[in-house]
Amino acid sequence: MVEQRYLAVREVLDTDATITDVATRYGVDRRTLHRWLLRYAAGGLGALGDRSSRPDTCPHQIDPAVEARIVALRRAHPGWGPRTILNRLRRELEVVPSRSAIYRTLVRQNLIDPKPRRRRRQDYKRWERSRAMELWQMDVMGGVLLTDGTKVSVITGIDDHSRFCVCAALVARATAKPVCDALADALRRHGVPDQILTDNGKVFTGKLAAKPAVVAFDRICQNNGIRHILTAPYSPTTTGKIERLHKTMRKEFFADRRFETLEQAQRELDAWVADYNTNREHQAIGDVAPVRRFELAKATPVEVVDGDVEAAPEVEATRFVTRRVDDKGRISILNHRYHVGRYLAGQSVAVESHDGLLNVSHNGVVVATHARRHLPELDEHLDRRSKVARPARPTKGEEVFRGVDPGGSVSFAGTAYRVGNAYRGMLAGVRIVGDTVQVTIDGQLVRTHRARHDKSKEFGALAQPNGKPRRSSGVA
């Protein structure tokens, strides 16, 4: 390569050939040939050799002392990422590197694995209340071990706006009374919020039980003027802030730690919560401690009414159902359509019917409120999909009877056919119609299955209309 460059330069200097002709003959751009001429004039033959593309200077390169400080912070705190290290350097240095520069330093020192971001930061959409004490999220975290292997649970609560931890109580068992005691203690220390958001656990509510009832947690909320909001079933993201607190608590406090007694664990947990609330910077609220936001709420002393006092009966029961928003941003309730928003198309929303209003919530946030168009007495039919449709008449044919087992199935010719959990313990009729098996309850058709049993066993099954007799456990 050096020889070719030298020959091209000599041809330009020693002959009358133009630079364009020589560049074309050697297969290079004429600007490249101009650079060769300048380099030869400045340094002779040696200057025509290959050069590194690395720049001579890099004005934005991190100072070695700053790079050493970044490495020291990361090794001292393995859980700190580039953003946390940047916030710490802002307190120490006048000129700080960028977040991406800190990230590249950690990757270069093999202190962090380079992982592509799956989603852009601006794509994340966080819902939060506009002020402190407007909403609390409460939950139960299990899996905490003592030294002797005993498992205990933590009853946790967090303020939605400030991320202030209002409750962190260790209990041997997270039953109704310890949960209510933890709630009452949090109310006495921090005041009464407007709303409390929980999942549908039995310690929190009895509205979704087989026989709806008002549990002690609900009574505390009603007696103290707190609106108790429930998440949609199987929707843990609705209480995402309390779940994130659990992740932080497990990583920073419970990881690789065991405690002799429950009291010792509670003392150390209280110290960690105090540091979490007052000193630890929270990235979701602008890298400040949660107390900075929580202290803006007006602290008013209240006398908490516990759950032993029976709550006054509600004028109108509250009904909860879920709906999926269509492509036009609407939902349907009892043949009435309500607009929610096209941006929620395809998403599931929770609908609450109370006091003549329909409140539509998505991920625990009310996104629409409409005046109820149906009559109040029709609220019991709010979710028609949960009701069993009017059964059709069964087809005529030879019928035998079988008892529905605890799994909601009947056995015919050695094969189990599904009936439904609602019919457990009842007597079902089984008919063979063509290549199908029809199951009836009280003369009404409830299920039709394609026949899956052995046809050779069908005659014996039909010969026993009431099934095989039960064997006696007595000894002859």
**Verdict on whether the full-model pTM lies above 0.75:** no
Is residue 146 within 8 Å of residue 259, measured between CB atoms? yes
| CB neighbour list of residue 6: distance below 8 Å, 6 or more residues apart | 40, 45, 48
Is residue 8 within 8 Å of residue 24, measured between CB atoms? no
Supply the pLDDT for residue 211.
Answer: 80
Residue 441, token pair as written in the block: 């309850």
C-alpha to C-alpha distance for 265 and 257, rounded to whole angstroms: 10
Protein fold of 135-294? Nucleotidyltransferase; domain 5 (3.30.420)
Distances (CA, A) of 217 to 183, 196, 227: 8, 11, 11
Q: How far apart are the first and last CA of the chain?
A: 107
Provide, for the chain, the percentages of residues in helix, strand and coil under a 3-state DSSP scheme, each rounded to the nearest 5.
Answer: 35, 25, 40
C-alpha to C-alpha distance for 334 and 381, rounded to whole angstroms: 8
Domain ranges of the chain: 2-48, 64-116, 135-294, 319-386, 399-462
DSSP 112: S
Q: Which CATH number fits domain 64-116: 1.10.3470, 3.40.50, 1.10.1060, 1.10.10?
A: 1.10.10
Q: What residues form DSSP beta bridges with 157?
A: 138, 167
Is residue 149 within 8 Å of residue 251, measured between CB atoms? no
C-alpha to C-alpha distance for 439 and 428, rounded to whole angstroms: 6
Q: What residues form DSSP beta bridges with 472?
A: none
pLDDT in tens, the chain (476 residues): 788 888 898 888 888 889 999 999 899 999 999 999 998 998 888 888 888 887 777 777 888 899 999 999 999 888 888 988 998 898 888 888 988 899 989 998 888 888 776 666 666 666 788 899 999 999 999 989 899 889 999 999 999 999 999 999 999 999 999 999 999 999 999 999 999 999 999 999 988 777 888 899 999 998 888 999 998 877 888 899 999 999 999 988 998 788 999 999 999 999 999 999 999 888 888 888 999 999 888 766 667 776 565 544 444 456 678 888 888 889 988 888 899 988 888 888 888 887 778 888 887 778 888 888 887 777 777 765 444 344 445 455 578 888 899 888 999 888 999 888 888 888 999 988 877 888 888 878 888 888 888 888 887 788 777 776 655 444 43
Query: 195: part of which helix (H) or strand (E)?
Result: strand 195-198
Nearest Cα neighbor of 196 from 143, 108, 129, 106 is: 129
Backbone angles phi, psi at 475, to 5 degrees: -105, 130
Residue 373, token pair as written in the block: 């168009």
